[in-house]
């Protein structure tokens, strides 16, 4: 199993849900193993797998922007008429 560490160009922070509060962690690097498993390495040395993260944000032009993905619409090719 190989792990690649990527240090973000712009600051990233992740939010984690706790029993009594939500916690914000600043990210130092992103670890990618097996080409698909992602963990966030925080500035205080914690590895947080993506399943423990509520959402992530990146600082762009002085504003925190949510990082999210949008599923693509399924492709339904038109039937060929002939």
Q: Parallel, antiparallel, or unpaired: how do β-strands 12-17 and 55-60 relate?
A: antiparallel
Q: What is the pLDDT of residues 55-71, one digit of tens each?
A: 899 999 999 999 876 77
| Structure letter (DSSP) for residue 36 | T
Alpha carbon 15 to its chain's center: 10
Whether residue 75 is contained in a domain is answered as no
In a domain, 82, yes or no: no
Q: Confirm whether 81 is domain-assigned.
A: no
Report yes or no on 35 lying in a domain: yes
- Domain range for residue 7? 3-66
Query: Does the global pTM surpass 0.85?
Result: no
The pLDDT of residue 2 is 83
């Amino acid at each position: 199993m190989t792990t690649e560490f990527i240090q973000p160009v712009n600051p990233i922070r992740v939010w984690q849900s706790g029993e009594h509060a939500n916690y914000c962690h600043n990210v130092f690097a992103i670890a990618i193993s097996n080409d698909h498993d992602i963990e966030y390495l925080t500035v205080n040395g914690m590895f947080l797998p993506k399943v423990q993260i509520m959402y992530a944000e990146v600082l762009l032009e002085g504003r925190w922007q949510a990082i999210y993905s949008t599923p693509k619409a399924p492709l339904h090719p038109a039937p060929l008429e002939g």
